[in-house]
């Protein structure tokens, strides 16, 4: 009976050790990856530099611009700036190449209002290029694997601090349109004609869904029956 206080003291000390172990982790309250880790979305410029040619845009430059236009389209397409050097070696060639680049981008589907030509000071640099650029959204996930906690010390019965880091990082790497995380897409206009058809069928008590396509029927094989 005299040993009982000693046993209680040891038990309390053990509980205190577990609590202190939990306190060392920062008392993390997050239980899901999105609560502990987040994907940061920021804008970053995409640039392309073209040499000024007296004859305008070359065939090789046109191929490069075609890839540039594809990247622009996949980035949800913002405004494209075309900066032409002023006071360079060949101002006329730079102006012609910049205008050819603008016309080429418009032919690739970029709206004319989204391509702006502006000048920048070349300070006599004969190699000053034409610079095309647009802004795109970039998703940045957390950096994982820098440190690992001891998974054998689970006295607090809580998730470990790295829980969800890899999942969030993989999601950030797989998102095709990071702009979707910043703001939703604008809704398309409603189909007034289809809405009127559905409303009339509803009033008549008819089926409002699209008729079933007979070609979509599946047949189980009769082999072996």
- The per-residue pLDDT string of the chain (225 residues; one tens digit each, 9 = 90 and over) reads 455 555 555 555 555 544 444 433 434 566 666 677 888 888 888 899 999 888 889 999 999 999 999 989 888 778 999 999 988 778 888 889 999 999 999 999 999 999 999 999 988 888 889 999 999 888 998 888 877 777 777 777 777 778 788 888 998 888 888 888 887 777 778 888 888 989 998 999 988 887 777 776 666 666 665
How many CA atoms within 13 Å lie on the side-chain side of 98?
25
Superfamily of domain 40-140: OmpA-like domain (3.30.1330.60)
Three-state secondary structure call for residue 91: helix
| Residue that the structure tokens 């102006």 belong to | 95
Q: Which two tokens stand for residue 27?
A: 């008392």
Whole-number pLDDT of residue 97: 93
- 61 — phi, psi (to 5°)? -65, -35
Domain positions in the chain: 40-140
Q: How far is Cα 101 from Cα 93, in angstroms, rounded to an integer?
A: 12
Whole-number pLDDT of residue 34: 67
Whole-number pLDDT of residue 25: 40
Whole-number pLDDT of residue 60: 93
Whole-number pLDDT of residue 37: 85
């Amino acid at each position: 009976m005299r040993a009982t206080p000693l046993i209680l003291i040891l038990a309390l000390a053990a509980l205190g050790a577990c609590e202190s172990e939990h306190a060392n982790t920062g008392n993390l309250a997050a239980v899901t990856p999105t609560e502990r880790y987040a994907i940061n979305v920021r804008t970053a410029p995409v640039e392309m530099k073209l040499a000024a040619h007296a004859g305008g845009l070359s065939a090789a430059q046109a191929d490069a611009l075609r890839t540039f236009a594809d990247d622009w389209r996949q980035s949800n397409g913002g405004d494209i700036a075309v900066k032409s050097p002023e006071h360079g070696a060949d101002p006329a060639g730079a102006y012609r190449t910049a205008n050819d680049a603008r016309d080429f981008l418009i032919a690739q589907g970029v709206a004319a209002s989204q391509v702006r030509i502006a000048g920048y000071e070349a300070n006599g640099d004969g190699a000053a290029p034409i610079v095309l650029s647009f802004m795109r959204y970039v998703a940045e996930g957390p950096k994982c694997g820098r440190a690992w906690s001891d998974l054998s010390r689970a006295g607090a019965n809580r998730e470990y601090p790295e829980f969800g880091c890899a999942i969030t990082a993989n999601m950030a790497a797989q998102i095709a349109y990071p702009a979707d995380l910043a703001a939703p897409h604008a809704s398309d206009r409603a189909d007034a004609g289809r809405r009127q058809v559905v409303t009339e069928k509803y009033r008549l008590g008819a089926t409002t869904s699209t008729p079933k396509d007979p070609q979509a029927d599946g047949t189980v094989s009769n082999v072996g029956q």
